Amino acid sequence: MRRAIGLLIVLALAVAAAWALAGLGGTVEVRVGDVWIGVGLPVLLVGLVIAFLVLHGILAAIAALRAWPARRRAKVALVARDRGDLAVTRTLLALAAGTGDVARAEARRARLALGDTPQTLLLAAEAARLDGQDAEATLAFRALAERDDAKFLGLRGLLRQAMARGDWAEAQRIARDAEQAMPGASWLRAERADLALRSRDWAEALALAPPEAPRAALAMAAAAAEPDPTRAGALEAEALAADPGFVPAALAQAARLRAAGDTRRARSVLATAWAKTPHPDIALLYMEGEPDALARVKAAEQLTHRAPTHPEARLVLARTALDAGLTGRARSILDALLAAGPADRRAYLLLVDLEQVEHGESPVARAAEAKWLRLAAAAPPAPRWRCEACGARHDAWATECSACGEVGRIAWEGARG
């Protein structure tokens, strides 16, 4: 209703305008030389309006013709977009269903329709990977990695591929690039730490290790692989800071200090480690360089004075006493060790040596030796390095267990003080 009223008002105004123009009268003259043209004013105005409308129509037609290719391209692009969106949806469905060949075909259709966008490249890579076409997936992931807006996606895909084929060095390099592309990704830091362990890059494993990681073992492994003596010494000190009773680090640091002429600090390191983890190698290095057997007895007493009743301390004291000819003292220490509880095989073998020193090749000595040897055969073996993950025993400490591959789980079986 409102439109009809509005139209009537417009028509009324047009009629009124035409009526007013008709009533104006007058003539418009145009003279060019001897040529004279005279046109009534109403006719001229109507002619101008008609000329304007004709010109406007011509210009509009020209503009429409010029815009036709763009409209055509937009229409084709819209159709391609719809077709591409459908292909993307079908690719996702095929990936979810685990049909790699279908996913690859639909991903190709999506790329043809939409071009190489981050989405289509990622779908193509995942479809190829699902279908076992690793080379094709690599090309798609690399294309992603070359784009500034999707570099991380490509690098992550390449990282997974490198890990799948066990190329740990390449995986490490890609992981570093990925972290630069997306700093702060926590899962990536954890991935880099795991890769450092797999590639035996102990320095990087230590730098990336979380608080609960075996930092002492990692620092010691990094020190053993470090060619720079100064840096190696710093890593050994870091291992001791993480675990003052860590025997391999204490031995290495003490040997380094002793070689530098600082015997006092070397013994301090060993004494601290012994207080935490009494170990026979610590005692041997602590007493190294003593001029005679009695001096070794004194050094053993100095090392073990904080806990002289520890089984390892008693064994060290008994051995040094026996070597110095103090057989009575050695026997009293070994008797106390046996009386304190079950002793390991080393105690009984020391008693065999003691009988030989005291009684020589006499029948008494042979009878006593036979007794101690029988007890030694039934006694627990001497402590060794043992993997806490799988229980495998080792003759020497190592960063990783040769049986199960766990890192930092090998510990000394002897009880800590």
Least Cα distance to 338 among 366, 316, 309, 359 occurs for 309
Q: Do residues 395 and 384 touch, judged by C-beta distance below 8 A?
A: yes
pTM of the entire predicted model: 0.69
112's tokens: 């043809």
d(CA 178, CA 383): 46
Q: Give the number of other Cβ atoms within 10 Å of residue 153's Cβ.
A: 21
**What are the average pLDDT values for consecutive 10-residue runs of the chain, which has 417 residues?**
75 66 62 68 70 82 81 72 85 89 90 87 89 90 89 88 87 86 79 86 89 92 93 94 94 94 94 94 93 94 92 95 94 94 92 88 85 92 93 93 92 69
pLDDT of amino acid 33: 67
Long-range contacts of 161-165 (CB under 8 A, 24+ apart): 161/129, 161/134, 161/137, 163/195
Three state DSSP letters for 93-115 = HHHHHCCHHHHHHHHHHHHHHHC
pLDDT of amino acid 23: 62
Least Cα distance to 186 among 210, 160, 211 occurs for 210
pLDDT of amino acid 25: 60
pLDDT of amino acid 69: 81
Angle (CA) 303-315-388 rounded to 5° is 90
pLDDT of amino acid 14: 66
pLDDT of amino acid 402: 92
C-alpha torsion 333→335→337→339, nearest 10 = -150
Q: Identify the structural domains of the chain with CATH numbers, from first to last.
A: 290-343+345-379 (1.25.40)
